[in-house]
């Protein structure tokens, strides 16, 4: 499942995949420039989620 998700992220230009010719084969992933740009959006979504959850929990 993880492999499938990483392949999709690579196809969409969100991550860069590096394969090293070793035994066993080593694979490394890093965020592409597009992937780095979306972190600001994700940080805001996390912030909203925390505030929303706090708000909901304070009503109970």
pLDDT digits (tens, 9 = 90+) for 4-60: 999 999 999 999 999 999 999 999 999 999 999 999 999 999 999 999 999 999 987
The reported pLDDT for the residue numbered 60 is 74
Only one residue has tokens 């090293």, namely 20
The CATH number of residue 22's host domain is: 1.10.10.10
Report the alpha-carbon distance of residue 24 to residue 9 in Å, rounded.
23
Number of domains in the chain: 1
| Structure tokens that stand for 29 in this block | 């992933």
- The whole-model pTM stands at 0.68
The reported pLDDT for the residue numbered 48 is 97
Domain that holds residue 46: 2-58
Report the alpha-carbon distance of residue 48 to residue 2 in Å, rounded.
27
């Amino acid at each position: 499942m993880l492999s499938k998700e990483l392949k999709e992220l690579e196809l969409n230009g969100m991550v860069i995949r590096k394969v090293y010719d070793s035994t066993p084969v080593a694979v490394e992933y890093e965020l592409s420039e597009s992937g780095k740009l979306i972190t600001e959006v994700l940080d805001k979504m996390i912030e909203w989620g925390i505030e929303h959850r706090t708000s909901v929990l304070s009503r109970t």
